[in-house]
Structure 1
């Protein structure tokens, strides 16, 4: 069995972060979300992985390399444009050959891995195995319709009027039976080759498609809200590790201070992680906060947030529920005049607490 990992796409919901960084490499607890998927694939006993890449291919290649760090053998499969999940299968046809394969969306996060799912698929070998989960608003996903016995009878991609609250999780398993179906697909109204249409085609062809409803935690980390929630969940499961320098500070709960990090005259309430080379001084870090490498948090308060590499936050009170990008600098404005001074990239979102 092989794996097909999708690491293309523009990441529009995470702009402006994804103007300069692949969405699959945005860190969760200071580790790129893509790495969690690659680790899950390796744990399931799969070693041959094809990674579909687009405009951010150089960055993905630098981060993943040949895959040996994960116990994998990686082949990169260029995709000229993100034309749908089924299009990724189409361009990977030669690489996949006639092997069974798992398709894993590189910006998805799934607690518990995929080992059980892969083992079940290997034993039963349906034409396809899909995972479903219930969500409050299914309109942004592929929506499944099941009959009274739990069998799949239909799929619809991002419908305006969903027929159920069951949506596709970004992990799929296929036999080679999917390839002729994909080859005959036509673009949807969105101009893409939809994986939901490919699965429906298998059902229409009389092939067996198994659907499993997962009760575990799953998130598509394509927006800031879900990214912060996944970060919270991962931090909750981490064990504390103090290998950096801590001076005149109070650490409460599960706090990780990485090698080369310095915490001085500060209070850190876990779960929280402070990356290598980062300085936290005269500050408060609250629960569910990840600060990446080579950052500066000086005379500031930060909680329930993710701070990316090289950012500096100085003299700022109470930042929360925020995603701070690479090399960003956040400082107070001058007191006169009383005004906010902002330099923001395209598609930025800012919420300002204004006082009278």
Structure 2
């Protein structure tokens, strides 16, 4: 079995952050969304994986490489604009050959294993298998297909030229034409990442399962409580890190309160601020703004106070390289 990961969404509801950062690369608990998706693929025993990308695809390829670091073999396919599953399938046709395959969305987090569904599909080989959440059976999370899907997609494309063919539509066509399509339920946590609220909710869930690791430099005047990761090269000075929280490699946290449910990205600098339920991405600087809560701060952004410290909490979504002064 092979895998096809659809990572071509534009993330319009996450702008301005996604003007320069594909939403599939937003880090959750220190790792991109799509990396968590690839964990799910690898859990099925699948190694050969195609990733369909659009704008920002070069950033995804740079972040993931050839997949060898994750125990996978990755092949990339580029769409000029999101064109749906049917077009993605045509790009990956030679790669997929006559193999069965599983389809994941690159922006959908599925935290628990569906290896049992994959094993059942491989043993029984219906034309298609659909995995839906037990609490939301109208949402199709994952699809398994035999090569019969190629006929379905071709027929749908011929019937409705210009319409985007979806995995759900292909499965419905197969069922309507006598194919065996089976549905299995998923009882674990899942989240489709479409908005800032989705990012923060998924981030909280992943941080709640955090395994603590103290590899950075924490001075004697700082306090660490709960499950906290301090990565190598990070420095914590006169601060309270309240888990679950991550302070990434190269970051400096000084005279601040970080957490709960906060990640400070690589090479960030945070001074005199309480950051909770938030993500501060790589290279960003935050200096004293009182409290940031429920915020997404883009890469290399600068957020500072225009007046006195000690302001009430604020929620911000700030794009890459932005400069923001918060009025008191």
TM-score (norm 1): 0.83
Match of 1:304 in 2: 277
Q: Distance in 2 between matches of 1:44 and 1:2?
A: 10
Per the TM alignment, residue 123 of structure 1 is displaced from its structure 2 partner at its CA by 1.4
Say whether residues 1:175 and 2:141 are aligned partners. no
Partner Cα separation in structure 2 for residue 37 and residue 74 of structure 1? 13
Partner of 2:173: 201
1:277 paired with 2:235, answer no
Shift of 1:62: 0.6
- In 2, the alpha carbon distance for the partners of 1:303 and 1:183 equals 49
Deviation at 1:134, TM superposition (A): 5.5
CA shift in 2, pair 1:266/1:345, >3 Å: closer
Contact between 2:16 and 2:317, CA under 8 Å: does it hold in 1? no
Matched, 1:47 2:47: yes
Match in the other structure for 2:74: 74
**2:100 matched residue in structure 1:** 100
Superposed CA deviations along residues 327-355 of structure 1, whole A, max 9, x for unmatched, are 111111146xxxx9x99769x9x9x9x98
Distance (whole Å) between structure 1 residues aligned to residue 102 and residue 124 of structure 2: 15
Residue 128 of structure 2 contacts residue 182 of structure 2 at CA under 8 Å; is this kept in 1? yes
Q: Who is 1:153 aligned against?
A: none
Counterpart residue number, 1:324: 297
- Write the deviation string for residues 246-305 of structure 1: whole angstroms up to 9, x where unpaired: 111011110111001011111111000100010111111121111110001100011111
Paired with 1:68 and 1:49, the residues of 2 have a C-alpha distance of 11
Q: Cα deviation per residue 1:14-62 (whole Å; 9 max; x = unaligned)?
A: 1111111111111000101111111221222111111112121211111
Could you tell me which residue of structure 2 aligns to residue 118 of structure 1? 118
**CA shift for structure 1 position 167:** 2.6
Q: Confirm or deny: 8 A CA contact 1:90 1:183 kept in the other structure.
A: no
| DSSP 3-state at the match of 2:77 | strand
Maintained 8 Å contact 1:188/1:194? no
Matched, 1:294 2:275: no
Match of 2:229 in 1: 256
Structural RMSD (CA): 2.5
Shift of 1:217: 0.5
TM-score w.r.t. structure 2 length?
A: 0.90
- Alignment size in residue pairs: 317
The answer on whether the counterparts of 1:130 and 1:168 sit within 8 Å (CA) in structure 2 is no
Does the aligned pair in 1 maintain the 2:296–2:317 contact within 8 Å?
no
Residue 188 (structure 1) shift:
7.0
